[in-house]
Amino acid sequence: MKKQPTIEDVANATSLSISTISLVLNDKPHVSERTRRKVLQVISDLGYHPHRGARGLASKLSGNIGFIVSNDHFTQVEPFYTKIFLGTEFEARDHDYYVLLTTVGKSFNKKSSSIPRFLLERNVDGIIVAGKVQDSLLDYIDSLSLPMVLVDYSSTKKRYTSILIDNKAGVHAAVSHLVTQGHRQIALIGGDLSHPSIAERCLGYTEALAENGIAYETAFVVTDEKDTRVHNGYDATERLFAHRVKPTAILAVNDAMAIGCIRYLKSIGKLIPSDVAVVGFDDIEMSVHMEPRLTTVKVLKEEMGKQAVRRLVDMIKMKDEAITTVQVPVELMVRESSGGVSEPVDSAIAAQTEGISL
């Protein structure tokens, strides 16, 4: 097998030092144009592909971005954040970065067993944190003076650069759609209000009712579920229907709960949407493979990951310390579960690349 050329081979062929070769590889100044052309020509002739370690000699950067998500958010049945991660991976390639993924537990302390290894080894140039984590973890990363971007999360303790969902706009669109379908008894099911996105969706529901002249009814709101998985949606809907007055439409804070809601309604013989209309939030792939297909608010998850990388690279390379917040727009996808005019099946499936969040 032919030996792959090394940076030492490039140095020998150009009669230049390895540090000079590294300066060229990292597109640094302090190198004459003549020398730069010479090095690049030899690299091309030899077919040399730079090793990350060699490239870091001059830049003192690892070429890695750390991606942190909680265990609860990153499982085989929780691919919402998997899609965000894929977005970071796709975008990182364009910036010549690797993305290192790790998960963390519900609790965090400064004991080494709780700290992601790439933080202990200082093997990343910046961090992306997706979803809800403990503030103590954010404090620890902050203490390392590493650039950090939060995705679908914001801390109440300190402001960080964040890529967020326009949750209120999505809920307003969903409620307005149900109103146009003739519904006035619109219920809400949710849980885990410590997550800012969920809390915003619940607040958006209250505001949207008021805008449409509908009184807030406590009996139509179940938002104290511990989580937002399918079984939580089932249980929350069962609790709703224990009341004497029943809703004619239900808005779930995410698609997983909407799926659980539909399962319960079917179990008691309710027809969807003629008896009860259902709307979710997130637009996961399962939403177009259900019967009936789920009306939901589409979240551009991969785009959120891409924007996080773009912002983080600016922070790393340009030393941009400005704290910014980006709200990614959403879109209401009207399908059969709400009784509205639905999109064609083929176009719906073609538009979906999302995973199920259970």
Predicted confidence at residue 48, as pLDDT, reads 82
* First vs last C-alpha separation in the chain: 48
Rounded to 5°, the CA angle 71-73-74 comes to 65
- For residue 80, pLDDT beyond 60: yes
190 three-class SS:
strand
At residue 256, the 3 state secondary structure works out as helix
- As its CATH architecture, domain 64-164+302-329 has 3-Layer(aba) Sandwich (3.40)
Q: Is a pLDDT exceeding 80 seen at residue 183?
A: yes
The hierarchical CATH code for the domain 7-59 is 1.10.260.40
Q: Which helix (H) or strand (E) holds 274?
A: none
**Residue spans per domain, the chain:** 7-59, 64-164+302-329, 167-299+331-351
**What is the full DSSP assignment across 302-321?**
HHHHHHHHHHHHHHHHS---
167-299+331-351 classified as CATH 3.40.50.2300: yes
Confidence (pLDDT) at 195: 92
What band does 358 get if pLDDT is binned at 50, 70 and 90? very low
Residue type (1 letter), 117: R
Say what the pLDDT of residue 225 is: 95
Summarised one tens digit per residue, pLDDT across range 133-178 is: 989 999 999 999 999 999 999 998 899 999 999 999 999 999 999 9
Report the share of the chain in percent with pLDDT over 90: 63
User: Nearest to residue 125, comparing CAs of 56, 78, 192?
Assistant: 56
- Yes or no: say if 128 and 307 are a contact pair by the CB < 8 Å rule: no
pLDDT digits (tens, 9 = 90+) for 239-255: 999 999 999 999 999 99
Global pTM reads: 0.77
What amino acid occupies position 194? S
Tell me whether the CATH fold assigned to 64-164+302-329 matches the one assigned to 167-299+331-351.
Answer: yes
- Residue 161 sits at the vertex; the CA angle it makes with 63 and 358, to the nearest 5 degrees, is 85
Closest CA to 286 of 224, 341, 225, 337: 337
250/237 Cα distance (integer angstroms): 9
Contacting residues for 162 by C-beta, under 8 A, at least 6 apart: 149, 150, 151, 153, 154, 324, 325, 326
DSSP state of 282: B
- Cβ atoms of 307 and 351 within 8 Å: the answer is no
Query: For residue range 297-334, what is the model confidence (pLDDT) as tens digits?
Result: 999 999 999 999 999 999 998 887 889 999 999 999 99
β-pair type (330-333, 296-299): antiparallel
Say if residues 262 and 278 touch (Cβ distance below 8 Å). Answer: yes
Kindly tell me if the per-residue pLDDT of 276 is higher than 80: yes
- pLDDT at position 53 is 54
The helix (run of H) or strand (run of E) holding residue 67 is strand 64-70
Average pLDDT, the chain: 87
In the chain, the amino acid numbered 269 is G
